[in-house]
Structure 1
Amino acid sequence: MPITKGRKFKQVLEGARRVFLREGYAGASVDDIAGEAKVSKATLYSYFPDKELMFTEVFRADLALDIEESLVAVVADRPAAEALPFLVHALAVRMVSGSGVNSYRLRVGESARFPDLARECMDRACRRRRDDVRSYLERWTRRGELEINDMELAAEQLIALATALIRDRALFLGSDSVTDAHMRRATVGAAHVFLAAYGPRFGAAARVHGDPAISRADRAKTVPPME
């Protein structure tokens, strides 16, 4: 059924988004959504005849915002060893921000109830993120700075490494619990692991730029442990 977009449509949609992100699909009531959007239930129903249609529209609008947000293009022309920490940091910040964590929690939590939307998320947002990362990796590989045979796999691995140490922390303890120290440790560590796997086989050339090789004991003194 097509949705009629009137003067207050955006207001209704944003109110519904806030409630769904906070309460989930089952916990969100029409009364709560109308109150959050500051409209009457009659106005709400004039746009969305049922809650399922409303959730679908909110999900897709949130997904569109995620897809439109691009990664930092400034790192593309830098050497891989110098740029990887910046790329990993950009990925990590997006995924563990307050809005990023809430959207991720909602998408995963409602994937069984809305399998078509879950597949749409995989096909659009996840693929877009993977393609963005892949474009960087392809450029660095063409320049001989990385040695990658399976670009898609490498892109997925880098995305996973970007949040390996911090996404669970953000999900369970909140985004504010991810400090600058946590982010730095995760970012530099992910870049090291990725370069160890895909960097050119020239020893020191695969070292992350600006991060000298130090012993594990010395590193423990300078980088706070994850709590």
Structure 2
Amino acid sequence: MANTDTLRKSSKGGRPSNGTLEQRLEQLLEDATQVFLQHGYGSASIDMIAREAHVAKRTIYQHFGDKDELFGAVVRRLSHNIFAAFPQAEETSQSVEHVLSTIARGVLALVLSPEAMGLQRIVIGEADRFPKLAQQFYTNGPNRGITALADYLANQQQLGTVQLEDPTNAATYFVSMIMGEFYLQALLGVIELPSAEQIDQHANSITHLFLHGYGSQLHSVTKRR
């Protein structure tokens, strides 16, 4: 790991250098996020991000790699909170329906947030010129969520609470249902960003449709805590 001295802020207009290395790296990613949102991916540079974050360029390279990998780290940071909704492998106290509706709300709250919408629009607008950008976004965002959900469903299948032919396909279908027209209209600006209440209603509706659609393949079992 890089020497933490490289993360000291500039004495001219910089933020204090106190805090743990993890906290300072978190702040660096926040600064990088704002640079990408303000300038786009193509116009943003490591030099620009280093100046905004008041760190040495080598700090960015040592901890995050090049600009493609830094963008991936930005997306990964943004999507991290979703995974708090996924119970541990041994967790069996919550019904599948409860867990899925919680995950649906988490996914929607993330992808419909102003930061996430801005980054997604950057990816759509610049993916042709920067193919690695799209790959970093998908790997660290959507695919990460689908994989975690598939792992949860596979674990539930082993516990006997669900019956599925393919947990990965089931996870993919569920995420697609969560996003759907609701997300597309918001991304295009056709509708205003939905309220927390609207997100909650949509998450519950999609979870119900998903469970009902799988019928005999997937059933929810509620267990006492």
With normalisation by structure 2, the TM-score equals 0.65
- Residues 98 and 175, structure 1, Cα contact 8 Å, conserved in 2: no
Query: How far did 1:185 drift?
Result: 2.9
Does structure 1 residue 113 correspond to structure 2 residue 122?
no
Shift of 1:46: 8.2
> For 2:216, what is the secondary structure of its paired residue?
coil
Which of 43, 53, 71 aligns to 1:59? It is 71
1:155 shift after superposition? 0.7
Partner of residue 183 from structure 1, selected from 199, 214, 217 = 199
Provide closer, same or farther for how the CA distance between residues 37 and 149 of structure 1 changes in structure 2, counting only shifts above 3 A: same
Map residues 1-227 of structure 1 onto 2, 5 A cutoff: 5-8=6-9, 14-26=30-42, 33=48, 37=52, 55-56=67-68, 58-66=70-78, 68-69=80-81, 70-74=83-87, 77=92, 78-173=94-189, 177-200=193-216
Contact 1:84 1:191 in 2 (8 A): yes
Give the unaligned 5+ runs of structure 1. 208-227
Identity, % of aligned positions: 21
* Structure 2: unaligned runs, 5 residues or longer: 10-23
- State the SS of the aligned residue for 2:165: coil
**Structure number, greater radius of gyration:** 1
C-alpha distance in structure 2 between counterparts of 1:79 and 1:139, whole Å: 13
Cα 1:112/1:12, change in 2 over 3 Å: same
The 8 Å contact of residues 85 and 191 in structure 1, kept in 2 or not, is answered as: yes
Please list the CA deviations of residues 168-200 of structure 1 after superposition, one character each: whole Å capped at 9, or x if unmatched. 243233996211342133212211221122243
Classify 1:138/1:37 alpha carbon distance in 2 versus 1 (closer, same or farther; 3 Å): same
Looking at structure 2, the residues matched to 192 and 92 of structure 1 have their Cα atoms a distance apart, in angstroms, of 16
Please say which of residues 78-87 and 60-69 is displaced more in the overlay: 60-69
In structure 2, relative to structure 1, the CA distance for the partners of 1:5 and 1:153 (3 Å cut) is farther
For 1:62 and 1:92, locate their aligned partners in 2 and report how far apart those are by CA, in whole Å. Answer: 18
Backbone CA RMSD of aligned residues: 4.0
Deviation string, structure 1 residues 100-130 (Cα, Å, up to 9, x no partner): 2222222333222221232233344333211
Letter in 1 for 2:85: V
How many residues align? The count is 195
Counterparts of 1:73 and 1:115, CA distance in 2: 30
1:199–1:25 distance in 2 versus 1, CA, 3 Å:
same
Greater relative CO, 1 or 2 (CA 8 Å, sep 6+): 2
* Matched AA of 1:110: E
- Say if 2:68 and 2:136, in contact at 8 Å, map to a contact too: no
